[in-house]
Amino acid sequence: MRRETLQVQLPPNLRHQRGMLSWFAVHASIAYLPGAVLPVPTGALSASVRPRLAARAVPAPSMGWVDDQHSFRYEKAEEEVDVSEAAERAKCLAGPSPDLQPLDVLDVMLRAFKRGTNEDIEDLFQFVLPTGQLASDYSSSAGAMSAFRWKIRKEPRWKNIAGRPHAALLHMRAYEVLGSLMTDADVRLYRVRAEPFFPDAPHAESDVIFQFELVKQRASHPAAREALGNRADCWLVNNILPHYSDWAVKDPINNSQCPDTFVMPKRSAED
């Protein structure tokens, strides 16, 4: 841990006062340190002083105390790592596993779509069935994953979205699994609602609905297991089908929708 240390010595004639004077000397010094957190007790300072000191404080992991020599020491810790996000990335990077249930695979993919980096798209495509419908729709000489990533990341993503609907999942604000359906012992369908986010239209709000189809790669005999490799007995995504009829643009202020075209009115004789 990197430390930034500041020593503040109290005058000898004041060292015996370990109450309010020590507190004020310590925390008044913190107020001038960039990135320090100022824990101001409610009754410690007058109303005119509290706002001025609190205004200088910004959140940062830090701690301060008065040691036995009556001097103040300040330590600033390095920025904490988001352990949960790192664990999510690690699970996606690890790829398919027989230990992952279909809902686990769905959650891994949706979280990767939400983060939306190049690496996330590459990692989530490990969960896409290479011979499935989604891979077939994005088949290319460069590979299905490369074509998929290039197509959904091209900005502005809302443009021609009917031809690349999965762009609506990239960097989405939120998602919700609405329901599931088992059509076969090895097939699961999940209905997912997502809230897209487009950087060039940050205030636009809409809902999109997709159906995720997951298929278990059952290895019924040794030859099949060898052919499937590390995908044997794993759940993979065969298709991500948009339900366009359920897509909707939110209208939070209840305004009527604008017309698709605008026709100038004819000028009257009085004009």
Averaged confidence pLDDT in the chain: 74
As a whole-number percent, the residues of the chain with pLDDT over 90 amount to 42
From residue 257, how far is each of 156, 246, 252, 260 by CA, in Å? 22, 17, 12, 9
pLDDT, residue 88, reads 81
Residue partners of 165: CB distance under 8 A and separation at least 6 = 208, 210, 242, 244
Whether residue 169 contacts residue 210, with contact meaning beta carbons closer than 8 Å, is answered with yes
Q: Look at 77-91, 125-139, 179-193, 214-228 and tell me which has the smallest mean pLDDT.
A: 77-91
pLDDT, residue 213, reads 97
pLDDT exceeds 80 at position 5 = no
pLDDT exceeds 70 at position 11 = no
pLDDT, residue 265, reads 56
More confident position, 61 or 226: 226
pLDDT, residue 115, reads 93
From residue 58, how far is each of 37, 45, 100, 114, 183 by CA, in Å? 6, 19, 41, 28, 54
pLDDT digits (tens, 9 = 90+) for 164-183: 999 999 999 999 999 999 99
pLDDT exceeds 80 at position 134 = yes
pLDDT exceeds 60 at position 23 = no
pLDDT, residue 113, reads 96
Whether residue 30 contacts residue 95, with contact meaning beta carbons closer than 8 Å, is answered with no
More confident position, 199 or 70: 199
As a whole-number percent, the residues of the chain with pLDDT over 70 amount to 61
Q: Kindly state the average pLDDT of the residues 131-160.
A: 92
Residue partners of 48: CB distance under 8 A and separation at least 6 = none
| pLDDT-derived band at 31, boundaries 50, 70, 90 | very low
Closest CA to 91 of 62, 136, 124: 124
Delineate the domains of the chain, giving CATH numbers in brackets.
8-76 (no CATH), 83-249 (3.10.450)
Q: Kindly state the average pLDDT of the residues 241-251.
A: 88
| pLDDT-derived band at 129, boundaries 50, 70, 90 | very high
